[in-house]
Each structure stands twice: as C-alpha cells, then as structure tokens.
Amino acid sequence: MIDSGEMLAQMWLAIKPYIDKKERNDAALSFLRAAEDFVDLEQSREDAGEADSALHSAFAELLGDEETEDDTEEDF
C-alpha cells in the first residue's frame, strides 16, 4: 500500500507540468488544503520527503517549518 504523502507527491508531480510556473506555489498550497480533509498532512509531509520544492513550501506554510532534533537541542 502506498503512503499518503507518497501518493500526494505522485499526484502533484503528475499535474505540475500543466500549471504555469508562476502559479505553482499557490496551486500546491490549494492542492494540500483540498487534501487535508482526506489525509493526515503531518504524516504525509514525512512520507512525501523532498519530492518537490513547491509542495515542500506548501507543507511548511500549512504546518510550519519542520524542526529537527538538532534544532531543538541546546548546547551546554
């Protein structure tokens, strides 16, 4: 079975060539807003990885930037 993020990435990459380059960031955001009623976007972001910069930016805008453990650790 395919992960939801992988599915979203594949669907996005299939329609992306038909979207004007200037509109791709807005289209990716709209795409994820429509998908959020059907999939867990947090999990989907993990599953999608870095499939596409517009999709990655849309995830970041909707969910905030991802923090890694290194970002949250403090040096003592």
Per-residue confidence (pLDDT) for residue 48, from 0 to 100: 84
Residues of the chain with pLDDT under 70: 1-2, 66-76
CA-CA distance, 22 to 62, in Å (whole number)? 19
Give me the amino acid identity at 43. Q
Joined together, the tokens standing for residue 36 give 């959020």
Q: Which two tokens stand for residue 44?
A: 């989907």
pTM of the predicted structure, to 2 decimals: 0.79
The secondary structure of residue 53, as a DSSP letter, is: H
